[in-house]
A and B are shown apart, each in its own frame.
Chain A
C-alpha cells in the first residue's frame, strides 16, 4: 500500500475532475458547455444550507432514511467469524440505493429550470428511480434501455411506464447498458437546452462521478454513525458490490480517511475470471477511455469495448467509476470478485437465514462477506452494503431453477 496516510480523500476529484490519472472529461465539444454549467451550479449548491436541507428532507420523508444497520445474526453464525451487519438500502423507496442520487439530481434539474430529464438504465433500478422523481416533480422523462435488457427486465419496464416515463429500447451495439449510455449522451447533445441528464452511476464526464458519489455518501455517513452507536467503534471492514460503483463509493467514501477500515469492492465474476465471461474490469481489464472518463475497461487488443457477462444486469457494465480505478491503484480498496454461482448461493442463504431477499447485485457483496467473515475474529465487524432488494430478480432466479413463474 503506497503512502495513503498522506492523502486527504475528501480533496478529490481535483479541479479538472481527475482522480490521479483517472476521470476527466472525454466528451465531444458540444457537451462541454452543459458540463461547465452543471459543474458551476453544483459548486454553488453543494454547500448551500437551503439545498442541503431540501435534500435531507427528501431523503427523510420521501426515501425513508436513515436506512437501518442490521445485525444479521444467523448469517453471521453460518459464516462462523466476524459479525455481519447489513446496511439496508433495500428498504429505501423504490428498493435500492439508486434513489439517493436521483433525488439529489432531480433537485439540481429543478434548479436548472430544465423541463425534461433523461437517464440510462441496465437492470432498470436507476430508470425506475429516475421515473419516480420525475413523476414527483412533474418533469418529462425518457429512459434509455438496451433492447436486450428490456426483454430481461420487463417488470421494471412496466414500472417506468406506469410512472409516466417513455422507455426507449436501444438497438445499437450490444443492446445493453453501455449502449443505453451512448444513446442518452446523444439525446443530451441534441436536446441540451431543455434536458437534464441524470446519470445513474459514478462514471461519465466530470462532474458526474463526484456528484453521484456525494449524493450516495449518505450511506457511508449513516453507517459510520450507526456503527459507533451499535458497536462503539468503526467497522473493521466494508463490503459492497461494484458495477459502475455508486453504492460502493457511497459506503466507502466517508470512511476513506479512516486508515483502519479495510474496504472490499466486489465485481461480477460471471462464469469465472478465467473464462473471460465476466464484468470485472478492475480485476481483469486495463485503463482506457469510455463514456467521458478514463478508467479500467473491458476491451480487446484494438481498444474496442467488449461485451460483459453477469447474472446480475446491474453489474453488467464494461467500465467502472474512475474513483474506484484510482483507489485500486493506490491500494486503498481491494477489488475482488464473486461469480454467478457464488452470488446465487448467497442470494439463497441470506433469504433463508434472515428472511431478506437481496438483489442479485448485492448478493455478490454478501457472497464475499461470507468468505471474509470466516477469516476474521468473532469480535470484529463487517458492514455489507445491501444495496437493493431482490424482488426484481425472482424471474431470473426462477429461470435458473427451471421454474416458470
Chain B
C-alpha cells in the first residue's frame, strides 16, 4: 500500500474506482435523535450501503443549512452535542468499524474554540479521516489545512456553480480526499437539480483536479443520486436522512427509515 493510501478516504475511493462503482456519501448530525443513537445510526448507514460518512458537527448558527438540517442542529444541541462529543462518537464508531471513512462537517467556530492544533490532534486520535468546514474557504483555510495534512487527514473543499476557473485551480491545490461539488445556488436541501449544469461544471472542475468529485445539495432519492453520479464519482445525501431522523418516533424507527432511504439510493447507484 502506498504512503498516500493510508488514509481511509483515499483507500475507499481507490477501491470504488477499481470496482467501477460510485460513492454514496451520507450525512447525519451528531447527536440528532440523542447522543446514544448516533453510533448505531452510523453503523446502519454502512450496513445499508454508505461508503463514506459525513458527521455533522452541531453549531448554533449553521449559516449554510436549509430548514431541515438547521432543525437537526437544533435537536442535537438540545441533546448537548458538541465537537468534543462528536470526536468521542467517532472513537466509539471505530471500535466496530475500522474501514469506513468519517468526515467531520461543520463550522469554523467550534474548531477555533478548541484550537486548530488540538482539534487536528484529537481528530486523528479519534479515527476521523477528514474535515469539511463550510465557512472556511480557501483564503482562510491555510493553517487548518496544514495541521490536517501533517496528520494524514484530508481537507474537503466545496466548489459551486459560481466558482471561477482561477479559484477552482487554487482550491484544487489545497484540496485532498475528494471535492464536494455543491450542485446549486442555495442552502442544503433546496431546489431542483439541473443535470446539464452539473455535467458542464463537473467537466470544468475535472480540468483542474484528479480528485474524486462528489455532488451534493438537492439529492433526494435514488434517481437524483444516479443522475449526478453519471458525471461524477459519487453523490452526497443529507437532508432526506436528517428529515427522516427528525420525524421518527424513536431511535428504532429512525434506523429503519434511514436504512430504507440509503438502501434505495445504493441500489439505484449500482444498477
Chain A residues in contact with chain B, CB under 8 A?
16, 24-30, 32-34, 172-173, 178-179, 182, 185-186, 189-193, 286-292, 294, 297, 299, 301-306
Q: Mind listing 11 A-B residue pairs with CB under 8 Å?
A: A26-B135, A33-B160, A33-B162, A179-B61, A190-B190, A192-B185, A289-B107, A294-B112, A301-B113, A302-B83, A303-B112
Q: Which residues of B contact A179 (CB under 8 A)?
A: 61
C-alpha gap A297/B112 in the complex (Å): 12
Q: Give the shortest distance, in Å, between B248 (CB) and chain A (any CB).
A: 21
A292:B135 contact, CB within 8 angstroms: yes
A30:B162 contact, CB within 8 angstroms: yes
Q: Which residues of B contact A287 (CB under 8 A)?
A: 112
Q: Give the shortest distance, in Å, between A262 (CB) and chain B (any CB).
A: 32
In this assembly, does B158 line the interface, its C-beta being within 8 Å of a C-beta of chain A?
A: yes
B61:A303 contact, CB within 8 angstroms: no
Q: Which residues of A contact B157 (CB under 8 A)?
A: 29
Q: Give the shortest distance, in Å, between A144 (CB) and chain B (any CB).
A: 13
In this assembly, does B182 line the interface, its C-beta being within 8 Å of a C-beta of chain A?
A: yes
In this assembly, does B108 line the interface, its C-beta being within 8 Å of a C-beta of chain A?
A: yes
Q: Which residues of B contact A178 (CB under 8 A)?
A: 61
In this assembly, does B187 line the interface, its C-beta being within 8 Å of a C-beta of chain A?
A: yes
In this assembly, does B159 line the interface, its C-beta being within 8 Å of a C-beta of chain A?
A: yes
B83:A303 contact, CB within 8 angstroms: yes
**Which A-chain residue is minimally distant from B136 (CB atoms)?**
A26
Q: A192-B162, A302-B113 are in contact. Are A30 and B74 (CB under 8 A)?
A: no
Q: Which residues of B contact A33 (CB under 8 A)?
A: 160, 162-164, 167
Q: What would 12 more interface pairs be, CB under 8 Å, given A32-B162, A185-B63, A186-B64?
A: A26-B140, A28-B63, A28-B134, A28-B182, A189-B64, A190-B186, A192-B162, A288-B113, A291-B63, A303-B59, A304-B82, A305-B60
How big is the B interface, by class? 35 or more
Q: Give the shortest distance, in Å, between B86 (CB) and chain A (any CB).
A: 10
B159:A25 contact, CB within 8 angstroms: no
A24:B140 contact, CB within 8 angstroms: yes
The listed residue (A16, A25, A182, A193) touching B63 by CB distance below 8 A is A182
B140:A186 contact, CB within 8 angstroms: no
Q: Which residues of A contact B64 (CB under 8 A)?
A: 28, 30, 186, 189
Q: A29-B163, A32-B162, A301-B113 are in contact. Are A172 and B60 (CB under 8 A)?
A: no
A302:B110 contact, CB within 8 angstroms: yes
Q: Which residues of B contact A26 (CB under 8 A)?
A: 108, 135-137, 140
B84:A302 contact, CB within 8 angstroms: yes
A290:B185 contact, CB within 8 angstroms: no
Q: Give the shortest distance, in Å, between B159 (CB) and chain A (any CB).
A: 6
A193:B108 contact, CB within 8 angstroms: no
**Which B-chain residue is minimally distant from A303 (CB atoms)?**
B113
The listed residue (A172, A189, A190, A303) touching B109 by CB distance below 8 A is A303
A189:B185 contact, CB within 8 angstroms: yes
The listed residue (B109, B134, B185) touching A297 by CB distance below 8 A is B109
A29:B109 contact, CB within 8 angstroms: no
Q: Give the shortest distance, in Å, between B119 (CB) and chain A (any CB).
A: 10
Q: A29-B137, A29-B182 are in contact. Are A173 and B113 (CB under 8 A)?
A: no
A25:B61 contact, CB within 8 angstroms: no
Q: A190-B185, A302-B84 are in contact. Are A25 and B74 (CB under 8 A)?
A: no
Q: Give the shortest distance, in Å, between B194 (CB) and chain A (any CB).
A: 14
Produce 1/0 per residue, B159-194, CB < 8 A to A. 110111001000100000000001001110011000
From 127 to 159 in chain B, residues with beta carbon under 8 angstroms from any chain A beta carbon are 134-137, 139-140, 157-159
Q: Which residues of A contact B246 (CB under 8 A)?
A: none
Q: Which 9 A-B pairs have the closest CB atoms?
A: A303-B113, A303-B110, A302-B82, A33-B162, A190-B186, A304-B60, A29-B158, A289-B108, A28-B64
Q: Which residues of B contact A29 (CB under 8 A)?
A: 137, 157-160, 163, 171, 182
Residue among A16, A27, A30, A294 with most chain B CB within 10 A: A30
C-alpha gap A207/B160 in the complex (Å): 21
C-alpha gap A312/B258 in the complex (Å): 45
A289:B135 contact, CB within 8 angstroms: yes
Q: Give the shortest distance, in Å, between A320 (CB) and chain B (any CB).
A: 15
C-alpha gap A28/B138 in the complex (Å): 10
Q: Which residues of B contact A34 (CB under 8 A)?
A: 162
Q: Which residues of A contact B185 (CB under 8 A)?
A: 30, 189-193
**Which B-chain residue is minimally distant from A29 (CB atoms)?**
B158
From 65 to 79 in chain B, residues with beta carbon under 8 angstroms from any chain A beta carbon are 65-67, 70, 74, 77
C-alpha gap A179/B77 in the complex (Å): 16
Residue among B162, B182, B191 with most chain A CB within 10 A: B162
Q: A29-B158, A173-B60, A173-B61 are in contact. Are A189 and B108 (CB under 8 A)?
A: no
In this assembly, does B203 line the interface, its C-beta being within 8 Å of a C-beta of chain A?
A: no
Q: Which residues of A contact B187 (CB under 8 A)?
A: 186, 189-190
A16:B109 contact, CB within 8 angstroms: no
Q: Which residues of A contact B190 (CB under 8 A)?
A: 190
In this assembly, does B223 line the interface, its C-beta being within 8 Å of a C-beta of chain A?
A: no
C-alpha gap A291/B139 in the complex (Å): 16
Q: Which residues of B contact A27 (CB under 8 A)?
A: 63, 135, 137
Q: Which residues of A contact B60 (CB under 8 A)?
A: 173, 304-306
